[in-house]
Chain A
Amino acid sequence: MAVQFRDYYDTLGVSRTATQDEIKSAFRKLARKYHPDIAKDKKAGEEKFKEINEAYEVLGDAEKRGKYDELGANWKQGEPFQPSAGAAPQWNNRGGVESSEFHFEGTGFSEFFEAMFGRRGGFGGNSFPETGDSRFGETSSATYPIDAEADIMVTLEEALNGSTRQIRLQKQMRGAEPTSETLKVKIPPGVREGQRIRLSGKGQNGGDLFLSVHLERHPDFRVQEANLHSELELAPWEAVLGCKVTIPTLGGHAKLTVPPGTQNGQQFRLQNLGLPRREGGRGNLYVSVKIQTPLTVNEQEREVWQKLAATSSFNPRPTI
């Protein structure tokens, strides 16, 4: 099935030779602009944010980026694209014998992504051969249940509160009319990266369908198990003198008192502001201080800094 090509470099506004740091920086900049909590047009922002996340999901991962780059630079955004047999999420396709195709909508990934990186039946992923009729070089149809895997993108807000999502599953079995059904997927609060959600009997021949959770990247927070990590940018004088700042938390804001003498990289732990833990309660939010210095100063500011340099007893290199 032909899908529309997606130019992920174009989506992030970076060149094909961009470094990982440039890609990360471009993603964060766009993510801050289009995150549904921030964007003025929430619906358009949500769509754009999904596109940016998908682009970063591919270009931010060396393996996926390599596979994507193999397509070459000749494809244009929106052009019809026919995935190769090896790339398409088909089942029992080993040896080039196409027997069934599955397509998903509502997982948070585009058809193009599904076609390029979608998982397969059997042992899933690209690491292991598929089970089924071709296990022993045979080409007859499998009659026993075969499990399938697919990815689902979950927002941090969904991971915090849980949600019910609808996905559309389209099946094209060999020699049969395509069928389509809408499935309700319950996203439990506290769901983790890589956690599987099982849809009983929705695989091949009555096997199960396992949806592997990918947490959507957030402009402010990084996820590690149930803990969230964020950065707090401070002016040098705020770090030296201390200050009170309002920081974003998942779904709200919190006030943080920065003590005098705060160091670059120092971490503050805000208890119970992370994601839900399975055993109850919530993880923590870790806020790391990043001291920013001004790129330019005006005359008046320069004088103040010079005065400080002349009077300060602080030696940043005491051992040299």
Chain B
Amino acid sequence: MNDDFEYHQTRFKVTSASDSSGQLFNLTITASHCEIHPDLIRHYCRIGLVRPAARDEEKNPYFDDDGIYWIRQIRELNREGEVGQRTLRVILDLRRQVEELKRELRFRIDN
């Protein structure tokens, strides 16, 4: 896998350090950080539960710390299979919307 990739016309170097704030991780490293199989992450991407921070020229996904956070959240919700895929999607959508609205509200309050 090529670790150099295009991200909005800017080149990033992907590293594999464990605490590497602000860096991006390839699928294998992300999977090891999330303790799940890479195929499961591919599946999450395919059904739209997670979105990679970037993709390289071969369309391989790369994730940041936020991405790892969301994958681990899905893993927790899905640990015993007690949350169905549709419910999972609703929960994640709502949580992301809440976070986005909080950011927007913070900006508006300050203005």
Give residues in A with beta carbon < 8 Å to B.
Answer: 20, 24, 60-61, 122-123, 127-128, 131, 145, 147, 162, 185-191, 193-201, 208, 210, 217, 222-224, 229, 278-280
Contact = CB atoms under 8 A, between A and B. Distances in A.
B15 interface: no
Interface in B1-41: 7-10, 18-23, 33, 35
A229 B19 contact: no
A9 B110 CA distance: 18
Nearest to A189: B22
A288 B99 CA distance: 27
A194 B9 CA distance: 25
Contact of B111 (A189, A197, A222): A222
Contacts of B73: 123, 147
Contacts of B43: none
B106 A193 contact: yes
B56 interface: no
A188 B110 CA distance: 24
Query: Shortest 6 CB-CB distances between A and B: which pairs?
Result: A188-B22, A279-B8, A280-B10, A198-B65, A186-B21, A200-B18
Given A229-B111, A279-B10, A147 B72 contact: yes
Given A60-B109, A186-B20, A188-B21, A194 B8 contact: no
Contacts of A60: 109-110
B76 A147 contact: yes
A193 B103 contact: yes
Nearest to B65: A198
B72 A279 contact: no
B19 to A, nearest CB: 5
Given A191-B22, A208-B72, A196 B10 contact: no
Contacts of A122: 76
B9 to A, nearest CB: 7
B102 A194 contact: yes
A198 B21 contact: yes
25 contacts: A60-B110, A61-B106, A61-B109, A123-B77, A128-B95, A186-B19, A186-B20, A186-B22, A188-B21, A189-B22, A191-B21, A193-B106, A194-B99, A197-B65, A198-B19, A198-B21, A198-B69, A200-B18, A200-B19, A208-B68, A217-B110, A222-B110, A278-B7, A279-B8, A279-B10
B45 interface: no
Given A123-B76, A188-B21, A279 B9 contact: yes
Nearest to B24: A278
Contacts of B72: 147, 208
Contacts of B33: 198, 200, 208
A200 to B, nearest CB: 4
Given A123-B76, A188-B21, A279-B8, A196 B107 contact: no
A223 B65 CA distance: 21
B109 to A, nearest CB: 6
Nearest to A191: B22
Contacts of B23: 188
Contact of A222 (B10, B19, B22, B107): B107
A109 B107 CA distance: 20
B66 A280 contact: no
A195 B66 contact: yes
